[in-house]
């Protein structure tokens, strides 16, 4: 019976996510929110992971449903719970177009230093990809460790530079990231930049110019 109720919550969330009953800001009619609330009143384990590998909160995050995310959190859903994939609601939120849900999760106790067990790296690495600047800015408000390293010993700064995300690297530097970290292979920020310039001598964006000034390169 309890599994049926959990499944009902996930089905309602899925149906709301597929609904045409939304305004231009992506929020849903109160009747849909009420359906989820009614399911939650059953007092079942809100953090259960079902056969699809998602908890109700993770499902709401994946379907980009901020109102339902807030509702689930208000009923005690754990934003830091690890899924069988090794990820979490927080890591799923990085895949969304805007950082709105990431902000909600962090405001409600999300761990800014949470580790993705499947990738063996901290959340800060997840926000350094292409078109994730706003997610990075959102995460920085919650004081993540900017000098944490991945399993290769690379810092977020080294990683950002290695994937040519100089805007992100510049933001990290300006927020206190250590430019002198060396990974297990002897790579430092300067060495990565030198190699990038060697490979792309005609591609030096303004953010890279600023980085070189900051690290006296």
pTM: 0.84
Residue 116 belongs to what H/E stretch?
Answer: strand 115-116
Give the pLDDT of the chain (217 residues) as one tens digit per residue.
444 455 555 555 554 444 444 433 333 334 467 777 777 787 678 898 877 888 989 999 998 999 999 999 999 999 999 999 999 999 999 999 999 999 999 999 999 999 999 999 999 999 999 899 999 999 999 999 999 999 999 999 999 999 999 999 999 999 999 999 999 999 999 999 999 999 988 888 999 999 999 999 8
Q: How many CB atoms lie within 10 A of CB 142?
A: 16
In the three-class reduction of DSSP (H, G, I as helix; E, B as strand; rest coil), residue 48 is classed as: coil
Q: Which CATH class is domain 146-217?
A: mainly alpha
Contact (CB, 8 A) for 46 and 75: yes
In the three-class reduction of DSSP (H, G, I as helix; E, B as strand; rest coil), residue 43 is classed as: coil
Residues listed for the chain: 217
CA distance 169 to 158: 8
CA distance 120 to 123: 10
């Amino acid at each position: 019976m309890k599994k049926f109720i959990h499944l009902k919550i996930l089905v309602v969330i899925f149906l709301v996510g597929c609904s045409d009953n939304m305004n231009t800001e992506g929020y849903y009619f109160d009747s849909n929110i009420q359906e989820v609330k009614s399911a939650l009143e059953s007092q079942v384990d809100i953090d259960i992971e079902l056969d699809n590998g998602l908890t109700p909160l993770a499902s709401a995050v994946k379907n980009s449903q901020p109102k339902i995310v807030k509702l689930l959190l208000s009923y005690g859903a754990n934003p830091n719970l690890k899924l069988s994939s090794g990820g979490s609601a927080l890591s799923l939120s990085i895949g969304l177009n805007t950082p709105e849900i990431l902000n909600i999760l962090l405001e409600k106790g999300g761990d800014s230093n949470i580790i993705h067990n499947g990738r063996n790296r901290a959340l800060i690495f997840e926000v350094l990809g292409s078109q994730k600047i706003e997610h990075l800015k959102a995460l920085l408000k919650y004081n993540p460790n900017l000098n944490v390293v991945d399993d290769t010993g690379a810092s977020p700064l080294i990683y950002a530079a290695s994937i040519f995300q100089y805007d992100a690297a510049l933001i990290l530097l300006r927020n206190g990231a250590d430019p002198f970290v060396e990974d297990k292979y002897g790579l430092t920020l300067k060495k990565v930049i030198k190699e990038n310039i060697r490979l792309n001598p005609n591609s030096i964006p303004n953010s890279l110019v600023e980085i070189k000034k900051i690290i006296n390169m």
